[in-house]
Amino acid sequence: MRELWHSAPVTFGATMKKLTAIALFLAFCPVAASAADLAVKARPVAVDPGYSWSGFYIGVNGGYAWNNSSDVAVSGTPLITVSQPGTVPFTVGLRPEGYLIGGQVGWNYQFGAGLVGIEADFDYADINHSRNVDLPIVGTNVRTSASEKIDFFGTVRGRLGGIVSQRLLLFVTGGLAYANVRDTANINEFFNAPVLGRQFIANASDLRFGWTLGAGAEWAFARNWSAKAEYLYYDLGSRTITGGQTNPVGADFATYNFSTRGSIVKAGLNYKIDWAGPVVAKY
């Protein structure tokens, strides 16, 4: 009995210490869990929902254009020489070409793997060509000159595309084309070497409208940036200008018919305006 009495306090004290430790652990576990939850809520995680082509964009572009080889048809009633009167119709071949540089704005709407959009661009242009054609005739020489120059070029086009991968778009495009076109032509008669005879001068400069059709590809290489390349065929129609006789003034005249149509290859860089910003997950 005496031995049992002395050993009981030792067993009871150890048991009390264990019970106290367990109680403290159970009391502080919910507090630690709540602190962990607060830490997670304080750090929202950005979620990438996948690239979307929908939205507005702005950009820059540059390229090269060339007109289809077209002949300026010349006709009228010029009396080329006193000894050989009559109408002398012939042609002057022109092929204007040159560069373009400018910018564009547009809007896309993506639906699944399809896309519809609209784009307007405007480019400063230097597309031109001039040519002289000499027609020697006994006793005189006839020189016909023709030139065409495009000062600026713009389009308003629809786009219809398919998304090959999440960031690669193939599209067809078409719509309105317009440009400021300057056409000039004249016939000069030279009698017996450098003596200038009659002239038939005509020119016109105005805003021309037509259509364009093409295709291209665009690659989104970053969240807001994409690069594109496209080909466009354009047709601004034909027009005829007339030049009356001068030096001296007379009743004869010459007419010149110009056709303005050709091709453009362009490359561009677009920035997509992301109004909403990145999607953020909330917990």
Residue where the block lists tokens 């002398």: 88
Q: For residue 31, give every residue at least 6 positions away whose Cβ sits within 8 Å of its Cβ, in sequence order, or none.
A: none
Pair (174, 39) in one structural domain: no
Residue 106 lies in a domain: yes
Bridge partners (DSSP) listed for residue 208? 179
3 state DSSP class of 169: strand
Closest CA to 245 of 183, 182, 192, 186: 186
Report whether pLDDT(275) > 80: no
Q: Are 217 and 168 in contact (CB under 8 A)?
A: yes
How confident is the model over 86-107, as a mean pLDDT?
85
Predicted pLDDT of residue 68: 80
202 part of a folded domain: yes
Q: Are residues 119 and 67 in the same domain?
A: yes
On whether residue 280 sits in a domain, the answer given is: no
- Inside any domain, residue 279: no
> Does one domain contain both 196 and 258?
yes
Same domain? 32 vs 75: no
pTM of structure: 0.75
Question: Which tens digits make up the pLDDT trace of 186-214?
Answer: 888 776 655 567 788 899 999 999 999 99
165 and 123, same domain (yes or no): yes
Please indicate, yes or no, whether residues 60 and 174 belong to a single structural domain of this protein: yes
- pLDDT tens-digit map of 132-174: 887 766 566 778 889 999 999 999 999 999 999 889 999 999 9
> Which range marks the domain in which residue 16 is found?
2-45
pLDDT one-digit tens code per residue, 251-272: 778 888 899 999 999 999 999 9
CB 266, CB 230: distance < 8 Å: yes
Cis omega (within 30 of 0) on the bond before 248? yes
pLDDT given for residue 110 in this prediction? 94
pLDDT at site 271: 98
Dump the DSSP string for 95-128: --EEEEEEEEEEEEEEETTEEEEEEEEEEEEEEE
Q: For residue 273, what is the DSSP state? A: -
In a domain, 157, yes or no: yes
Residues 20 and 233: beta-carbon distance below 8 Å: no
Round to whole Å and give the CA distance between 17 and 145: 113
* 218/283 Cα distance (integer angstroms): 36
| Domain count for the chain | 2
Give residue-wise pLDDT tens across range 231-258: 999 999 999 998 888 877 777 788 888 9
Same domain, yes or no, for 126 and 223?
yes
Q: Does residue 178 contact residue 157 with C-beta atoms inside 8 Å?
A: no
Which residues make Cβ contacts (< 8 Å) with residue 162, sequence separation at least 6? 113, 114, 115, 169, 170, 171
pLDDT band with cut points at 50, 70 and 90 for residue 176: very high
> What is the C-alpha to C-alpha distance for residues 85 and 82, in angstroms, rounded to an integer?
6
Question: 263 and 164 share a domain?
Answer: yes
CATH number at residue 74: 2.40.160.20
pLDDT for the residue 102: 98
Whether 58 and 35 share a structural domain: no
Residue 236 lies in a domain: yes
Mean of pLDDT over the chain: 80
266 and 139 within one domain: yes
Encode pLDDT of 27-82 as tens digits: 445 544 444 454 445 455 444 467 899 999 999 999 999 988 677 877 765 554 44
Burial environment of residue 105 by CB neighbours within 10 A (0 to 12, 13 to 18, 19 or more): middle
Residue 283 lies in a domain: no
